[in-house]
Homo-oligomer: A and B are copies of this chain.
Amino acid sequence: MDGRGFLCGSLSIPSPSNSSFSHESLSRSLYFLNSQVHLPKRLSQFQPLPVLRLRCGNAQEMVTPEPSVSTPISDYHHIDQKLLQNMVYDALVWSSLHGLLIGDKSVEGSGRVPGVGLVHAPFALLPTSFPESYWRQACDLAPIFNELVDRVSLDGKFLQDALSRTKKADEFTSRLLDIHSKMLELNKKEEIRLGLHRSDYMLDEQNKSLLQIEMNTVSSSFAGLGSIVTELHRNIISHHGKLLGLDPGRIPVNTGASEFAETLAKAWCEYNNPRAVIMFVIQAEERNMYDQHWLSVVLRERHHITTIRKTLAEIDQEGELLPDGTLSLDGQPIAVIYFRAGYTPVDYPSESEWRARLMMEQSSAVKCPSISYHLVGTKKVQQELAKANVLERFLENKDDIAKLRECFAGLWSLDDSDIVRKAIESPELFVMKPQREGGGNNIYGDAVRESLLKLQQAGCEENAAYILMQRIFPANSTTYITRNGYCQKDQTISELGIFGAYLRNKDKVIVNGQSGYLMRTKVSSSDEGGVAAGFAVLDSVYLM
């Protein structure tokens, strides 16, 4: 789930764990839209080489240049500069008029009040090539993962056992497990179970395989803006693609926003109280609010369902658990709780937030996710599921099991002394992942060795706060990264997130499928692996 908050991370100073991220690499080919544009400090450190000034607002399509019909999508190296300027300008205009927006950190209030301090979301100017066979493989996995999450969530003992050692090393997981235990004690059953997941993959260049990075079961973001950036790419290629030899039809339609909203609406229907509303649990400061608003707007316009937005603290203050189990906020019954907060310790600064979480879990509202679904998405459970013969405990279909296993990267507990020794010897082949959620916490390169040696001294309890994962080496491609009104060309790697929606009521599976996608692309650098760590931009898929 480390990618969830990448937009926040992307516009802030890199955290210590990824401070080795090289900004110099970004400046190799920097194209100026306008040298007068105000830049955040970090960006202005770039020393642009080939400076190209966009003439005042040129929104012109190219008419004269010869089309280079055979240009493959992966070879953007020599796009005509005038065409490039026009595409960037058109893309910036399109983004502004079509809500591809985030809050601008430099403007106060932009994370709280809609309509102020807006800036286009960072995006790749053109979609990134992705082989169709791997695309289909990733899409096919969605319903299997959805089903797996549901099955595992029902096995309370498995979850408690798998996380028993993490519990001692990680306070946050421990608190989640406490709530989970309470629900087990109460024998609380979630009859209506709703999952809005995002499974993230990379294509490993060495092994020629699609490997799962992680499974997000809570607050899977960018179903909203992911749909919009796909529309942007289809629009840009519709108008300029001929000159680049690109076909908009090769960008898969992305219905993430409408399908997530529809699944939320169906969950609301199952709850069956027409007076009830859907509650988005949000952070008090949320610069990615427009991604969320896209879901609310579809819920309102298409499904005529009201959404309210509350922080955990507000839920603690205003919420009430009625005798029949109904969660009521300010007198209003809640049908569905959709978490866009609560996945990181930062969201629980006091006991108030934990009280709210417990109250919600105790209620009859449909939770997206329930505490069980949340725990299934932890890295430790991901690692446990990758062990031999574990999937077989939850799934019957041999084909499904084989398909899942095929996408599992190497995953190990730090109890495995052989692997730890190998990782100390060759840290570049591993990623060390803490249980801690939120972007930018993964450990790469020499820091893996240092961390492992430190843990060896500290004793084994701390080990349980981490897992080791095989380092994936995706292919590089060239991307025109566009942010803050600037466009810069660089070598990048990409991560494909496949959204999955799942809804069941008792024995009836109501929704189980793939629900759109999100490509994220970042500048590649030798000492980092995950797209989520460091700066990434919204992107989409160009099938090849």
| Assembled-state Cα–Cα distance A108/B39 (Å) | 9
Q: Which of A87-95, A150-158, A199-207 contacts B (4 or more CB under 8 A)?
A: A87-95
- Interface size of A by CB at 8 A reads 63
CB within 8 A of A119: which of B33, B118, B282? Answer: B118
CB within 8 A of A92: which of B92, B97, B113? Answer: B113
List chain B residues, Cβ under 8 A from A397: none
A443: CB under 8 A from chain B? no
A25: CB under 8 A from chain B? no
What sequence of 0s and 1s flags, for each residue 70-106 of chain A, a beta carbon within 8 Å of any chain B beta carbon? 0000000000000000000100111111110100101
Say yes or no: B112 contacts A116, CB within 8 Å. no
Say yes or no: A38 contacts B109, CB within 8 Å. yes
| Assembled-state Cα–Cα distance A109/B37 (Å) | 4
| Assembled-state Cα–Cα distance A88/B336 (Å) | 24
Expressed in whole angstroms, the minimum distance between the Cβ of A279 and any Cβ of chain B is: 9
Given known pairs A96-B293, A97-B290, A308-B60, the reply for A117 and B104 (CB within 8 Å) is yes
Say yes or no: A308 contacts B113, CB within 8 Å. no
Say yes or no: A118 contacts B96, CB within 8 Å. yes
The 9 closest A-B pairs by CB, nearest first: A38-B108, A97-B99, A37-B109, A115-B120, A92-B115, A118-B118, A57-B309, A113-B485, A116-B485
List chain B residues, Cβ under 8 A from A92: 113-116
A476: CB under 8 A from chain B? no
List chain B residues, Cβ under 8 A from A309: 56-59
Q: Which of A294-302, A385-393, A459-467, A517-525 contacts B (4 or more CB under 8 A)?
A: A294-302
List chain B residues, Cβ under 8 A from A289: 57
CB within 8 A of A293: which of B97, B275, B277, B310? Answer: B97
Question: Can you list 29 contacts pairing A with B, beta carbon distance less than 8 Å?
Answer: A36-B109, A36-B112, A37-B108, A37-B113, A37-B116, A38-B107, A38-B108, A38-B109, A54-B113, A57-B114, A57-B309, A59-B293, A60-B332, A63-B306, A63-B332, A89-B114, A92-B115, A93-B290, A96-B118, A96-B293, A97-B99, A97-B290, A97-B293, A98-B99, A99-B99, A109-B485, A113-B485, A115-B119, A117-B119
Say yes or no: A37 contacts B112, CB within 8 Å. yes
Expressed in whole angstroms, the minimum distance between the Cβ of A221 and any Cβ of chain B is: 16
A307: CB under 8 A from chain B? yes
In this complex, what residue of B is CB-closest to A283?
B56
List chain B residues, Cβ under 8 A from A168: none
Say yes or no: B116 contacts A484, CB within 8 Å. yes
Expressed in whole angstroms, the minimum distance between the Cβ of A291 and any Cβ of chain B is: 11
| Assembled-state Cα–Cα distance A331/B99 (Å) | 35
A384: CB under 8 A from chain B? no
A314: CB under 8 A from chain B? yes
List chain B residues, Cβ under 8 A from A114: 57, 89, 92-93, 95-96, 120, 485
Among A34, A57, A97, A485, residue most surrounded by chain B Cβ atoms (within 10 Å): A57
In this complex, what residue of B is CB-closest to A116?
B485
A403: CB under 8 A from chain B? no
A454: CB under 8 A from chain B? no
A258: CB under 8 A from chain B? no
In this complex, what residue of B is CB-closest to A123?
B115
What secondary structure prevails in chain A residues at the interface with B? loop
| Assembled-state Cα–Cα distance A272/B296 (Å) | 46
List chain B residues, Cβ under 8 A from A118: 96, 101, 118-120
List chain B residues, Cβ under 8 A from A297: 93-94, 97
A415: CB under 8 A from chain B? no
| Assembled-state Cα–Cα distance A101/B107 (Å) | 16
A311: CB under 8 A from chain B? yes
Question: Could you tell me which residues of chain A, from 14 to 34, have a CB within 8 Å of some CB in chain B?
Answer: 33-34
List chain B residues, Cβ under 8 A from A99: 96-99
A208: CB under 8 A from chain B? no
A161: CB under 8 A from chain B? no
| A-B contact sample (13 more), CB < 8 A, given A58-B308, A101-B118, A113-B485 | A38-B116, A56-B112, A57-B286, A59-B306, A64-B331, A89-B114, A92-B115, A95-B114, A97-B99, A97-B293, A97-B294, A114-B485, A115-B485
| Assembled-state Cα–Cα distance A108/B92 (Å) | 16
Expressed in whole angstroms, the minimum distance between the Cβ of A106 and any Cβ of chain B is: 8
Expressed in whole angstroms, the minimum distance between the Cβ of A285 and any Cβ of chain B is: 9
A239: CB under 8 A from chain B? yes
Say yes or no: A107 contacts B104, CB within 8 Å. yes
A284: CB under 8 A from chain B? yes
List chain B residues, Cβ under 8 A from A104: 107, 116-117
CB within 8 A of A60: which of B59, B101, B116, B277? Answer: B277
